[in-house]
Structure 1
Amino acid sequence: MAWRDAKASRVRLVLFMASIVLGIAAVVSIQLFRDNLQDNIQQQSKSLMGADYLIDINETPNERAQAIIDSLKPVATEVNFVSMIAFPKNGGTKLVRVRGLEGTFPIYGKMKTQPEDATTSYQEDQGALVDATLMLQYNIVPGDSIKVGQLTLPIIGALNSLPGSSAVMSSVAPPVVIPYGLVPKTELLQFGSRKEYQYYYKADAQTDLEQLEDVLEPMLDAENADLDTHTSTSRRLGRRYENMGKFLNLVAFIALLLGCVGIASSVHIYIREKLKHIAVLKCLGASRRQSFLIYLIQIAGIGIIGGCIGGLIGIGIQESFPYILKEFLPFDVTISITAQPIIMGIVLGFLMAVLFALLSLLNTWYVSPLSALRISDDNNAIQPKLARFAVFGAIILFLFLFSYWLLRHVPYAIAFVVGVLITFAILAGIAKLTMRMIKVWFPKSLGYTTRQSLLNLFRPNNQTLVLIVAIGLGTFLISTLYFTKDILLSKTEVGNTAQSANIILLDVQPEQGVAISKTITDNNLEVINNIPLVTMRIHSVKGLVSNVAEQDSTVHIRRWVYNHEFRTTYRDSLIASEEILEGEWTPKVASGDVIPISISDNLAEDAQVRVGDPIVFNVQGVLMETVVGSIRMVDWGQLQLNFSIVFPKGVLENAPQFNVLTTNAPNEASSADLQRDVVANYPNVTVIDLRQVYTIVEDILSKVTWIINFMAFFSILTGIIVLIGSVRTSKYQRIKESVLLRTLGAKNKQILKISALEYVLLGLIGSLVGIILALLSAMLLAVFVFNEPFVPSVVPFLVFLPVISLLVLGIGLSNIRGVLQSSPLEVLRREV
C-alpha cells in the first residue's frame, strides 16, 4: 500500500525528497571535508614544521637562552627575515623572505628543488635556492646570480616547495634560501630589523612533548623565546580556518533546517489530503497501526533514499574543496571517504523525514472512520497533548544533538535551537495574528474578488499558518545565511586604503633618512610620511612583572603581552583607521609630565588594562613609566601602518629609532625605478609596493569570496526548492474551491485575481517577517560567534522580499492552471 500510494503521488513526493537530498548533501560534503582537513593537519604536522619541535626567538639569543638552545642539541638552525633582493642579470627587484639555514633541514618532509641535488649542494657551493615562480617571473635560471644586501651569490637551483610554506605566503614574499654562515655578509640585520631565529629538534621516541613544553616554556619565556611543538602547530593551524569552519557549519545547519521545513510543510498538506482515504481504509477494516504504518513506511523510505542520494552528491561536492582551497593550505589535502559522515547522512535523512513528518502522521492514527462520511473538508484529527509534546520534544532533542555535533559547544547549540524555536513561534504568532486582524477588521466594502481572497486567509481549510511559517522560516534561514556571508566578506574587501601612499620603505636608519628622502625626490616623487619607529617591550602591567603575573592565578594577562617586541610610534593626531573608544587622546606632553599612551582595544583586553592603569616599558634597557590615556579601535584590515601602542610627541624623540617612509608611485615604471635605486644603494631597506600586494590579496580574497558565495548559493537553492515544495503541495487545498467557483459562474480572470492576491499577501508577510528576524539573528551571530562588526545589507529587502513574493505568486497561480484549462467536471473526476 505504501508503494502503490507513493507511485500515485510521486510528483508531490519528488519535491519532498529534494528537500532531504540537498540538506544531506550540504551536511555530508562539509563534514567530510572538515574530517579530512583535521586528519591531514594531524598526519602532516611534523612535515609542516619540518621537525618534532623548535625554539624561536625574535632577537639574537642572550647567553642564558643560547645555553638552553645548545643543551637540547639542535639538528638545524635558521634565521629568516624579509628583505629586498636584486637580480644583476636584468636589474629586477623583489620583496622576499630570506631563510639562512644550516644543518639537516627539514628533519621531516622534503625540500623540493630543481635540480634535485640542489637541496644539499647549495650549502657546499655557497649559493642560493630561489623560489621557482620568482625565477620564471624574472627569467632567471640556475647559474645566474642574486644580490642579497651587500652579498652577491650564485643561484644553485629553483625552490619548488619548503615545509611550512603556502602559496599565499610565497606569493607575498617568495622564499630565498642561503647558507646560514653567509647571512652576516649581507649586512641586512641592523638595528630595528625584524628577524627570527629558529632552532629545529628531533625528539626521541620516549619524549613527551607536552611535558617538555611544560618544563621549557617558563624558562624560555623568561628569555623572550618560545617553544613550538608539531602538535601545538597543528592546533594553531586548525584555528586559522575557524571562522570558515563556523560558516560552513552554519551552512550545514541551515541547509538541514531548510530540509526539515520542507518536509514538515509538505507532509502536513500531503497527509491532510490523504485523511479521507485513510478514513475509508478504516471503514474497510484497516487498523490504526496499519494506516499509520502505510505512510510511515512511505516517508521513512523516502528519507533513506534521499539520504543515500544526498550522501553521494555530498561526496562529489567535497572532492572539489581541496582544489578550491589548495592555495590557502601549506600542504596538499588527501581526500579519503570515511564512513561516518555518509552513515550520518543516511541516518539524518531517515530522522529528518520521520521526526518532522511525525506530527502530521499522528493524524492518520487518530482520524475517525466517520470522516469518510462527513461532508466537511476539515479532517484534522484531534491529537492527545501527550503525543504532540512527545513529538515536539523529539524534534527539539534532534536539533540540539545535530547542532552540538556541528559546533561542539553546548551554549551555542542551545542558543541555535532556542533561536529557531523563537523564530518559529514568532512566525506562527504573526500568522494567527494576521488571520485574527483580517477577521475582526474585515473590509466589507471591497470588491468580490478581494473579499474572497481575504476570506481564504482565515476561513476553514486556510493555508495561512502553514505557508507563512514555511515561507517565513525559509526566508529567515536564507537571509541569515546571506547576512552572515556579508559579515565574513566585509573583511575580504580590499579597497585602496593607502590611496595617497602606495610605496612603503621600511627599516630606514636615522643616518639614511635624508639620503633616501633625496632618492625619492630625485625620482620625481613626494615623501608623504616619515614615521618614526621605536622598539620596546612591556616590563610590567599594573605593577606586575611577567613571572609574578604568571604565578598569580587571579591575573589573566596573556603571555604574549610580556614576550612581544612592540614597534611603537609617536604623533600628535589619529589616523583614518583609528577611533577612540575610551579616554582622551593626548597629542603632546612636556618633559617630566605623566606620559599618557594610547593602546589598541585588543591589547587592552589581553593585558587586562583600562584607562588610568600604569604600564612600564623597557625601551632598549631604559624603564619608562606610562599610564593608559586612551583605548583605540584599530582597523587592522587596512593596508597601512597601524600600531598597538602610540605615544604622544615630546617623549621618544631621543630614543634609538628607525623610520618608515611612504610615497606614491603613479605607475609601475616609476615604482620599479625607485625600488632599483633604493635596493642598489640601501640594501637594508625593505620596499613594499602596495599595488602588488593589492593584486595578490584581491586574487586570494576573490577565491575566498567564491567559496563563501558558492556555499551560500547552495543553501539558498535548497531554500527555494523548499518554498516551491511548500506552496506547490498546497495546491490541492484550492482546486476544489476554484472548481466550485467556476461551476457557479466565476470567470477565469476572477479566479486568478482571488488566488493571486492570497499568495501575494502570504508571500509578503512571510518573507518580510523572515528577513527582519534574520537581521536580528545575524547581529547576534556577528557579536557572539564571529566577533566581527555587522553592517546590514539591503539586498534581502530589495531582492529576496520581492523575488520570494513573486515566486510564491507564480507557484500559487500554476497550482490552479489545470482548473482554468479544463471543465469543472473533468477536474473533479481527475482529483477524485
Structure 2
Amino acid sequence: MDNDENRNIKTGAGWLFKMAWRDGKASRKKLVLFIASIVLGIAAVVSIQSFSENLKNNISLQSKSLMGADYIIDSDKPINERVTSIIDSLGGEDAKSVGFASMAAFPKNGSTKLVQVKGITEGFPFYGKIETEPINAASEYQGKGGALVDATLMLQLDIQPGDSIKIGNIQLPVIGALKASPGSSGIFSSIAPPVIIPHSFIDKTGLVQTGSRINYDYYFVAPPEMDLELLDKNLDPILDAENADLDTHLSTSERLGRRFQNFGKFLNLVAFIALLLGCIGIASAINIYIKEKLSAIAILKCLGATRKQTFYIYLIQISFIGLIGGLLGTMAGLLLQELFPIIIKDLLPVDIEIVFISQVIIMGIILGVVMSILFASYPLISTLYISPLQALRVQLKTSLRSKNAGLFVLTAIFIFIYLFAFWLLRNWQYSLVFVAGTLVTFMIIAGIANLFMRAIKKYFPASWGFVSRQSLLNLFRPQNQTLILILVIGIATFLLSTLYFTKDLLLAQASIDDQGNNPNLILLDVQSQQTDSVALSISNNDLKVLEDIPIVTMRVNSIKGVPVNEIRKDTTSEINTWVLNHEFRTTYRDSIISSEIIEEGVWTSQTDGNGIIPISVSSNFAEDAQVEIGDIINFNVQGVLLETKIGSIRAVDWSRMQLNFSIVFPAGILEDAPQFRVLTTRTPNEASSAQLQRELVKEFPNISVLDLRQVLSVIENVLSRISWLINFMAFFSLITGIIVLLGAVRTSKYQRARESVLLRTLGARSDQIIRILAMEYFYLGILGSTSGILLSLISSQLLALFVFETSFIPSFIPFLVILPGVTILVMLIGISNSLSVIKSPPLEVLRKELN
C-alpha cells in the first residue's frame, strides 16, 4: 500500500471522528455553557409542546365523556314545533335535561348558596359517569327522588347524606355528594356548584319564570354510520334559525381547545424566548470555544490538515454535542411536563394522562442538533481562515470570514427562526412580524452601541481620574467587545422583559378591581312586581340598593335590512354568528356609566318613540356585527319588532366587576316591555351577606344571588395558579439568559488578561484594575439592559394590540428589578471572570496565554 493510500485512510471519515472525539473529550469542561444552553432551550420547548399535545389528545379522547353523549341539541327557551320535528326525525332524544342557576337553602343550618340546578332524565350519561360518594348514589337518586349535591359545597356547609336541600318550592333529601359529572365546568362550579335532581321535579320548583335563563338540553347517541361533521354542517344552520343549537362531541373538543388559546400563546412565547436565548448562548459559547482552540487548529494545519478537515472536526464535535444536548433537554422537558397538571389541575376540563409523544421527542432531539450546527456555524467559519503561523505566534485577529459564507449562515438562521415561529404561532403574518421585529431589535441595539462608542470618543472626559478614564477607554479600544456585549445583554434583557410584560397583560385580562364603592352582591331574576319588596328587605338590613337595572331580552331580526336567516346562509358574510344567534339581555337608561366611553356618535338619553329608535352599542358588537353609525338593526323583542339605528358606539371595560351591556336603549321605549330587574347592594362583611341571602331565599325563592366575594376568591385562586406556572416557566428563560451573559462576558477574557498584565507591569494596583473592570461592565450592563427594556415596551404594546387583543399598562418591575439585576449580574460575572488573572503573577498569565 503506497503512502497516498495510507494518508487517505488516516484522513478519512474515521480519522475525523476520532479527532473530534479526542479533542472533545479533552475539552468537555469547556463545553458546559454550550450544553446548558441547548438543554434549557429544548426543555422549555419540549415540555410545553408535549403538554399541549397531551391536553389536545385527552380532550379529543374524552370529548364524549365530557358531553355524556355523541351530540346534543340545546336551547335557552322551550323548543318550538320545528325543533321538535327535527328531534323526532333523529329518532327522538335518548335523554334530556333542564338547567338553571338558583339559590338553594339547607334547612339543617339555615345556610344558602347559589347553585347550578340540573334536572336529568334516567339513563344519562351514555359516556363517562356521574361520580358520587357513596358510589351507589349516582344510580339511586332518580328512584329515591333526591338530590346529588357538589361534594365541596357539602364539606363547606357540613351537609351529610340524608340532610335536606330546598330549591324553590320543593325540598328534597340529599342522596350523596357529587364529585364529577359530564358537562360541568370546573371554574364555574366553584362559583355556582352543581346540584343534580330528577327531571320530573323541575316544574315543581316553580323557578321556570319570565327572564330566568333556562337551558334545555336533548342528548343523543349516534348510530355508528352517522357522520357527525356532516350532521353539524347541515343541521346547525337550520337550528340556529329556530334559536336552538347543535353541539357534537367533536365541536365540543375544538371549543375546549380554544379556551386555552391565549394561555397557549403565552406558553409558546416562553418556549420561543427560551429557545432564542439558548441559540444566543450556543453562538456565544462556541465563539469562546473556538478562540481557545486557535493554537490547536494552527498546529493541525502545520501537520498537514486542510482547512476543510479542521472545519469538519469541530463540526462533527458540535453536532455530537448538539445530539447529547437535545437528548438531555428532551428528557428534562418530558419530566417537566409532569408538573403542569398538578399546578393547573382546577383549570383543566379533563383529567390529563401524560404519555410520551414520539413526534415531540424526535422534534426535540433534531432541534438540538439543528440549533447547534446552525448557530455554531458563524463562529466555526473562522476556523477556515486560521493561519498555521498562529502555532508559533499567537494572533488576536484572525483573517476575515468570507462575506458570502457569513451572509449564507445568517440567512439560514433567520429562516430557521421564522419557520420555528410559524410552527408555534400557526400564522405566517405573526411569524414574519416577530422575526422582522427580532431583526430590527438587533439592529437598533447595535446602533445604540455604535452611537455610544462614538459619543465617548467625541466627548471624552479627559479631566477624569485614571480609573474612570481607563474604564471608558476600554469601551472603544482596538478589538473591543463593546458591540457584542451590549448586543447580547440588550437582547437577553429585551426577551426577558417582553416575557414579564406579556405575563402582566395576560393576567390583567382576568384581574378584577374590587373598589370600595362597587356593589358586591347582585340579585338576579327579580320580577318587576317583586322589586319594591326586595328593596324593602335590603333596607331592613341597613343596606342600600345601589342599582336597579331593568333587563329586556331580545334577538337580532335583521341587520341593514337583511334578515338573519339570509345572513346565516351567506357564506361570504363576515358577521360573527354569535350576533345572529344570541339572546341579548339589554337595558335602558339616560346616561352612560363609569365603565363606558363614547367612541363615536352621540349618546341619546331619552326619546318619545316616534321614528327610528337611536341605540348605543359596544365597540365589540359593532365590529362583530359589521355595523357603524347610522346603520339600521331590527330587534325581535319577544314577538314585537323594533327598528333601531346605531346612534353611538361605546368602548366598554368588560373586566370591571359590574353589569355591562352590548346594547343600551334610551329611556322612553322599553319601560312597558316584559322585563325583569337586577338589583345590587354592598354588604360590609360575610355575615351580613349570608343573613340577607337567607331572608331573600326564604321570601323570594326565584331570585338568584351572586356574591362577588366568592367570585373574587375563585378568580384569585385561578390567577395564582396561572401566575405560578408562568413564573415557573419564565425561570427557565432567566437561567438561560444568565448562561448567555456568562458566555458573552467570557468572550472578552483573553483581551482582559493581556490588558491586566500590561497595566500591572506599568504599576497599576489590583484594586485599581478591579475598579476599572467594574465601571466598564457597569456601563455595558446599564446601556444594554436599558436598551432592551425600552424596546420590550414597544414589542409588548404590539403583542397586546395584535396577538392578545387587550390594553397594555406597563409595570415598573423590569426597571426596578431586571435593570439593576442584569447590571449587577454583568458586573459580578465580569469581575469574577478576571479575578484569577489579576491575582496571578504577570509572567504566569503570559505563559498560560502562550500555551
Q: TM-score, normalised by structure 2?
A: 0.95
Equivalent residue number for residue 292 of structure 1: 311
Cα pair 2:281 2:736 within 8 Å, conserved: no
Alpha-carbon RMSD across the aligned residues, in angstroms, is 1.7
| 1:370/1:433 CA distance change after superposition, 3 Å | farther
| 1:460/1:235 CA distance change after superposition, 3 Å | same
Cα pair 1:731 1:816 within 8 Å, conserved: yes
Equivalent residue number for residue 692 of structure 2: 674
Q: Distance in 2 between matches of 1:133 and 1:456?
A: 66
| Offset of residue 657 of structure 1 | 1.0
| Offset of residue 497 of structure 1 | 4.3
Q: Distance in 1 between matches of 2:703 and 2:185?
A: 25
Cα pair 1:49 1:164 within 8 Å, conserved: yes
Cα pair 1:262 1:470 within 8 Å, conserved: no
Give 2:296's match in structure 1, choosing from 261, 277, 286. Answer: 277
What secondary structure is seen at the aligned counterpart in 1 of 2:509? helix
1:453-472 correspondence runs (5 A): 453-472=471-490
Give 2:503's match in structure 1, choosing from 485, 489, 496. Answer: 485
| 1:529/1:740 CA distance change after superposition, 3 Å | same
1:610 aligns with 2:594: no
1:801-812 correspondence runs (5 A): 801-812=819-830
What secondary structure is seen at the aligned counterpart in 2 of 1:155? strand
Q: Distance in 1 between matches of 2:234 and 2:29?
A: 68
Cα pair 2:614 2:666 within 8 Å, conserved: yes
Give 1:763's match in structure 2, choosing from 749, 769, 781. Answer: 781
1:359 aligns with 2:378: yes
What secondary structure is seen at the aligned counterpart in 2 of 1:734? helix
1:590 aligns with 2:613: no
Cα pair 1:100 1:178 within 8 Å, conserved: yes
What secondary structure is seen at the aligned counterpart in 1 of 2:600? strand
Question: More deviation in 315-324 or 582-591?
Answer: 582-591
1:482-521 correspondence runs (5 A): 482-497=500-515, 499-521=517-539
1:97 aligns with 2:124: no
Question: More deviation in 393-402 or 180-189?
Answer: 393-402
Q: TM-score, normalised by structure 1?
A: 0.97
For structure 1, list consecutive stretches of 5 or more residues without a partner in the other structure.
none
Equivalent residue number for residue 696 of structure 1: 714
What do the CA deviations read for 1:448-477 (whole angstroms, capped 9, x no partner)? 333332332223221112211111111111
| Offset of residue 242 of structure 1 | 0.2
Equivalent residue number for residue 328 of structure 1: 347
Q: Distance in 2 between matches of 1:448 and 1:142?
A: 84
Q: Distance in 2 between matches of 1:455 and 1:278?
A: 32
Question: More deviation in 305-314 or 194-203?
Answer: 305-314
Give 2:61's match in structure 1, choosing from 29, 43, 50. Answer: 43
1:780 aligns with 2:798: yes
Q: Distance in 1 between matches of 2:431 and 2:626?
A: 29
Question: More deviation in 505-514 or 365-374?
Answer: 365-374
Q: Distance in 2 between matches of 1:2 and 1:450?
A: 45
Equivalent residue number for residue 26 of structure 1: 44
Q: Distance in 2 between matches of 1:243 and 1:365?
A: 47
| Offset of residue 659 of structure 1 | 0.7
| Offset of residue 89 of structure 1 | 1.7
Equivalent residue number for residue 543 of structure 1: 561
Cα pair 1:378 1:460 within 8 Å, conserved: no
Q: Distance in 1 between matches of 2:489 and 2:239?
A: 59
Q: Distance in 1 between matches of 2:395 and 2:75?
A: 83
Which amino acid counterpart does residue 139 of structure 1 have in structure 2?
Answer: D
Equivalent residue number for residue 245 of structure 1: 264
| Offset of residue 729 of structure 1 | 3.8
| Offset of residue 10 of structure 1 | 4.2
1:132-281 correspondence runs (5 A): 132-281=151-300
Q: Distance in 1 between matches of 2:351 and 2:312?
A: 49
What do the CA deviations read for 1:797-822 (whole angstroms, capped 9, x no partner)? 22212211111111111122112222
Which amino acid counterpart does residue 356 of structure 1 have in structure 2?
Answer: F
Equivalent residue number for residue 133 of structure 2: 114
1:118-129 correspondence runs (5 A): 118-129=137-148
| Offset of residue 517 of structure 1 | 1.2
Cα pair 1:2 1:297 within 8 Å, conserved: yes
Cα pair 2:288 2:743 within 8 Å, conserved: no
Question: More deviation in 654-663 or 420-429?
Answer: 420-429
Question: More deviation in 54-63 or 738-747?
Answer: 738-747
Q: Distance in 1 between matches of 2:244 and 2:609?
A: 35
Q: Distance in 2 between matches of 1:123 and 1:146?
A: 15
Cα pair 2:288 2:746 within 8 Å, conserved: no
What do the CA deviations read for 1:473-496 (whole angstroms, capped 9, x no partner)? 111111111111111011232221
| Offset of residue 22 of structure 1 | 0.8
Cα pair 1:89 1:144 within 8 Å, conserved: yes
Which amino acid counterpart does residue 477 of structure 1 have in structure 2?
Answer: L
What secondary structure is seen at the aligned counterpart in 2 of 1:534? strand
Aligned residues between the structures: 831
What secondary structure is seen at the aligned counterpart in 1 of 2:293? helix
Q: Distance in 1 between matches of 2:303 and 2:475?
A: 36
Cα pair 1:507 1:658 within 8 Å, conserved: yes
Equivalent residue number for residue 684 of structure 1: 702
| Offset of residue 733 of structure 1 | 2.5
Q: Distance in 1 between matches of 2:579 and 2:239?
A: 15
1:653 aligns with 2:671: yes
Q: Distance in 1 between matches of 2:559 and 2:515?
A: 34
| Offset of residue 587 of structure 1 | 1.5
| Offset of residue 445 of structure 1 | 3.9
| Offset of residue 11 of structure 1 | 4.3
What secondary structure is seen at the aligned counterpart in 1 of 2:480? coil
Which amino acid counterpart does residue 746 of structure 2 have in structure 1?
Answer: R
Q: Distance in 1 between matches of 2:656 and 2:68?
A: 33
1:64 aligns with 2:82: yes
What secondary structure is seen at the aligned counterpart in 2 of 1:140? coil
1:744 aligns with 2:754: no
What secondary structure is seen at the aligned counterpart in 2 of 1:29? helix
| Offset of residue 725 of structure 1 | 2.5
What secondary structure is seen at the aligned counterpart in 1 of 2:121? strand
What do the CA deviations read for 1:532-578 (whole angstroms, capped 9, x no partner)? 11111111111111122233445322222122111111112222221
What secondary structure is seen at the aligned counterpart in 1 of 2:366? helix
Equivalent residue number for residue 565 of structure 1: 583
Q: Distance in 1 between matches of 2:26 and 2:846?
A: 17
Cα pair 1:27 1:314 within 8 Å, conserved: yes
1:347 aligns with 2:377: no
Which amino acid counterpart does residue 290 of structure 1 have in structure 2?
Answer: Q
Q: Distance in 2 between matches of 1:123 and 1:136?
A: 23
Equivalent residue number for residue 382 of structure 1: 400
Cα pair 1:583 1:631 within 8 Å, conserved: yes
Q: Distance in 2 between matches of 1:483 and 1:20?
A: 25
Which amino acid counterpart does residue 783 of structure 1 have in structure 2?
Answer: L
What do the CA deviations read for 1:739-784 (whole angstroms, capped 9, x no partner)? 1221222111221232222211111221111112211111111111
What secondary structure is seen at the aligned counterpart in 2 of 1:636? coil
Which amino acid counterpart does residue 370 of structure 1 have in structure 2?
Answer: L
Cα pair 2:237 2:568 within 8 Å, conserved: no
Which amino acid counterpart does residue 184 of structure 1 have in structure 2?
Answer: D
What secondary structure is seen at the aligned counterpart in 1 of 2:546? strand
Cα pair 2:165 2:173 within 8 Å, conserved: yes
Which amino acid counterpart does residue 721 of structure 1 have in structure 2?
Answer: I
Q: Distance in 2 between matches of 1:786 and 1:163?
A: 31
For structure 2, list consecutive stretches of 5 or more residues without a partner in the other structure.
1-18
Sequence identity percentage: 60
Equivalent residue number for residue 534 of structure 1: 552
Cα pair 1:58 1:194 within 8 Å, conserved: yes
| 1:375/1:664 CA distance change after superposition, 3 Å | closer
Q: Distance in 2 between matches of 1:50 and 1:496?
A: 38
Q: Distance in 2 between matches of 1:12 and 1:469?
A: 23
